[in-house]
Amino acid sequence: MIAREPALARLATAEALLLAPHDLTDATLREALGAITAHRVDDADLYFQYTRHEGWSLEEGMVKAGSFSIDQGVGVRAVAGEKTAFAYSDELSARALLDAAHTVRRIAAAGQSRRIKVARKPVVANHALYAPMDPIATLDSTQKVALLERVERLARARDPRVVQVMAGLAAEYDVVLIARADGTRAADVRPLVRLSVTVIAEQNGRREVGNGGGGGRFGLAYFSEAQVAEYVEEAVQAALTNLESRPAPAGQMPVVLGSGWPGVMLHEAVGHGLEGDFNRKGTSLFAGRIGERVAAKGVTVLDDGTLADRRGSLNVDDEGQPTQRNVLIEDGVLRGYIQDRHNARLMGVKPTGNGRRESYAHLPMPRMTNTYMLAGRLAPEEIVAGLKRGLYATNFGGGQVDITNGKFVFSASQAFWVENGKIQYPVKGATLIGSGPVAMRRITQIGSDLRLDSGVGTCGKEGQSVPVGVGQPTLRIEGLTVGGTS
């Protein structure tokens, strides 16, 4: 038996699901694109999407809620100069598609750009980073309920101080098809699953919370007994540790950030500032600084959408562009931005496979995929041991960043006070305050323990949410301001 090339197989799946049931053909797509490109435009595309989502949640020892939804539709876009015309429909039919195309044509009629000849071209060659499966079907309903009940049993058996357990299981089957005005076609079949665990522990009238969980682009069978036990242990241990926490000291001090999820600070404080739209408009502190030193030597930051099975990875982005490994900062020097097609064209550079949208009802924009810092050479234990007086933050909650000045505020959900290289006690209420570009220049030690997050990240931008990944090794940053409770 001869296997079909992955990109062609995904296109066949997308056409069977999104086009054939609605009597849409390649000729219909060319007609719609031809209607748009009758006027001068720089770019135009059709974005078809089918999404099936299922969720289950457990609370108070029982599965209390379940949800199931199906959404499908098409987004139609034309770009002329800096202007974009966009329309979408949740009805998949030739009439709805052509109506949307003519609406976009009227909006874009004033465009003074170039004509695009609509021709049939080969399918865009791209990656095969994850299996094109429907993850919802990888376990039946009884098995999904049993998985959540296992979380409950394990957490309560771990420690009698555990008084409440909450868990959520989500699975999504997402199929997209992109038809571009230049005739190229691309498709992707994107599985996505996530298991989340929240534990509340109580001691002497005091209650604290711990969280665990993870996921990625695979089936629900990933959540084996061993994997579930690891998530539960993480959540319970975090809650029990926080029960012993004391008020966080405040002031300016060196801070050591743990590996993995603390990379969310890198994502927020630096990553957003490297997105092409902010730099084209000059609103980012990194605008116009390609080739300049923006971080300490040894700091190399990547955005990589090509990591197998990762939550932030994509075979192609939402404009049909294959994702790639983008070096943003190399040894402290700014090398590039992440780009969608629109901003790349206006800046005179190539797109980087970072055009992403929440759904067919949204416009694409430059967004991160998996953003992380490469490892250094120091053992993480050595970095902590070198801390005379300071904070060791191993997990984060929420945060806020202003990309126009780089200033950030992040709350540490788990942190420890260190004196003379020894962890003294866990602290509560610590917030990290500073500027992303300044903090990047104050990194003095980089650990050898690069780790990516467990697969829980979701990034928001201009009202759109997309799944992402973050990561970093253990880092020491000098002179961060810690807002505490003492």
Q: What does the pLDDT look like over 460-478, one tens digit per residue?
A: 999 999 999 999 999 999 9
Question: Can you tell me the distance from the alpha carbon of 353 to that of 368, in angstroms, rounded to the nearest whole number?
Answer: 10
Contact between 413 and 397 (Cβ < 8 Å):
yes
pLDDT in tens, 265-298: 999 889 999 999 999 999 999 999 999 999 999 9
Contact between 92 and 73 (Cβ < 8 Å):
yes
23: left (phi over 0), alpha (psi -120 to 50) or beta: left
Main-chain dihedrals φ then ψ at residue 444, nearest 5 degrees: -110, -20
Burial of 330 (0-12, 13-18, 19+ CB in 10 A): middle
Indicate the helix (H) or strand (E) that contains 256: strand 251-257
What is the pLDDT of the chain when averaged over all its residues? 93
Answer whether residue 119 shows pLDDT above 60: no
Query: Over pLDDT 90: what percentage of the chain?
Result: 84
pTM confidence score: 0.94
Beta partners for residue 246, in sequence order: 427
What is the three-class DSSP state of 302?
A: strand
pLDDT in tens, 170-209: 999 999 999 999 889 999 999 999 999 999 999 999 999 9
CB count, 10 Å around CB of 233?
16
Indicate the helix (H) or strand (E) that contains 404: none
Answer whether residue 254 shows pLDDT above 50: yes
User: What's 155's DSSP letter?
Assistant: H
